[in-house]
């Protein structure tokens, strides 16, 4: 019963990514530590893909696993990298006889005192954003129950991270839209000022404003603000 209660609490904790001060790094450290508590593994770590699709170490529950994961990224070899590229759970279950696919990583992990390593994808349908790494003392596969629980934790974390990314994306888009609207207001005001000073129609005033901005490699909104503020000489603006 205690394990089920701890698991439920972990799910609630990992799902709560809507708070204003959500911290991705802290969130991933929580996940790594919950995996150690719930799955009977010795240590755990998280890697996330950057904008170029390269894995980056984000959290580890111990210094031992942190160094091993950094080594894996440095040599570009190991179950975690294979898991990320295939989107499938991957493991080396006997580090005393390392898998031929990852000989250098296997030897290093075995020398660090681990018997097996397991990698679970942070995946939502076709999108893979990272890998959950589990390091065990025993040279054997994860129990089916632990493997399912680990993947469930990884899935909840993935949904939380993608949800947070979507919220940030919407906020960026909203800020960009508001910035565009504000710039448009400035341009309309500047057009009016130019039209009055240079005795131009509004289309000609806009053409003069745009021509000056392009000639001087400046943004329309910056030139418009300078016109409104009176900090730019408009006598040399032309409409052709």
Name all domains of the chain by residue range, CATH numbers in brackets: 2-164 (3.30.450.40), 176-229 (1.10.10.10)
Q: What is the C-alpha to C-alpha distance for residues 177 and 187, in angstroms, rounded to an integer?
A: 15
Over the stretch 166-188, which tens digit does the pLDDT of each residue have? 777 777 677 776 877 788 888 88
Indicate if the alpha-carbon torsion angle 128, 37, 41, 150 is positive or negative.
negative
Paired residues of 44 in beta bridges: 134
Q: What is the C-alpha to C-alpha distance for residues 195 and 208, in angstroms, rounded to an integer?
A: 10
Percent of the chain with pLDDT over 90: 40
For residue 137, what pLDDT band results from cuts at 50, 70 and 90? very high
Mean pLDDT of the chain: 85
**Predicted TM-score (pTM) of this structure:** 0.70
For residue 240, what pLDDT band results from cuts at 50, 70 and 90? very low
Percent of the chain with pLDDT over 70: 89
Q: Which of 93 and 236 is assigned the larger pLDDT?
A: 93
């Amino acid at each position: 019963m205690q394990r089920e209660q701890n698991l439920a609490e972990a799910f609630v904790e990992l799902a709560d990514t809507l708070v204003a001060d959500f911290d991705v790094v802290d969130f991933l450290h929580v996940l790594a530590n919950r995996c150690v508590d719930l799955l009977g593994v010795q240590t755990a770590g998280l890697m996330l893909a950057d904008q170029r699709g390269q894995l980056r170490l984000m959290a580890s529950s111990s210094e031992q696993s942190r160094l091993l994961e950094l080594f894996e990224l440095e040599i570009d070899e190991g179950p975690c990298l294979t898991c990320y590229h295939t989107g499938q759970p991957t493991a080396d279950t006997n580090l005393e006889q390392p898998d031929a696919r990852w000989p250098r990583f296997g030897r290093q992990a075995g020398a660090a005192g681990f018997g097996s390593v397991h990698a679970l994808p942070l995946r939502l349908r076709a999108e893979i954003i990272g890998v959950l790494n589990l390091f065990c003392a025993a040279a054997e596969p994860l129990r089916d129950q632990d493997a399912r629980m680990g993947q469930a934790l990884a899935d909840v974390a993935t949904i939380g991270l993608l949800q947070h990314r979507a919220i940030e994306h919407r906020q960026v888009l909203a800020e960009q839209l508001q910035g565009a609207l504000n710039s448009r207001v400035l341009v309309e005001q500047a057009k009016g000022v130019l039209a009055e000073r240079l005795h131009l129609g509004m289309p000609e005033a806009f053409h003069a404003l745009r021509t000056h901005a392009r000639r001087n490699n400046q943004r329309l909104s910056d030139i418009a603000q300078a016109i409104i503020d009176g900090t730019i000489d408009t006598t040399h603006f032309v409409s052709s």
